[in-house]
Structure 1
């Protein structure tokens, strides 16, 4: 089974590039099958990692950045693959 972990944070206004650099520099204790990093308006950063694991598996996740870098708590979601197109 493939599980995708999504991590999304919103930087303090004007600090989106700093949050993006911080997220890209974070190393996980074990490598995922795939990892992609995205940015969006309003200084948002999204990181998706894919794992060969069950939905409830204990998987490494990106930590929370320093509080002065973000405007709110990090959002995290887990999804399981149901099909490949």
Structure 2
């Protein structure tokens, strides 16, 4: 089965580009099947990751909270 995780954060005003680069540079404990990073209005960043998993409650690595 394929699971998708979504991570979203909002940067301090004017720091969206910095948050975007931070999200792109994060290395997870293991690599997902697919990963996409988006920038949205109001300095928000969205990361979607796709994983192969046995169950819906599988332990999957997630992005940490940014500083």
What's the C-alpha RMSD, in Å, of the aligned pairs?
A: 0.5
Q: Which structure has the bigger radius of gyration?
A: 1
Structure 1 residue ranges (4+ consecutive) displaced by more than 3 angstroms after TM superposition = none
> 1:29 deviation in Å?
1.2
Relative to the length of structure 2, the TM-score reads: 0.95
5+ residue gaps, structure 2: none
Relative to the length of structure 1, the TM-score reads: 0.76
Please give the alpha-carbon distance, in whole angstroms, between the structure 1 residues aligned to 2:57 and 2:31.
18
5+ residue gaps, structure 1: 67-85
Q: How many pairs were matched up?
A: 66
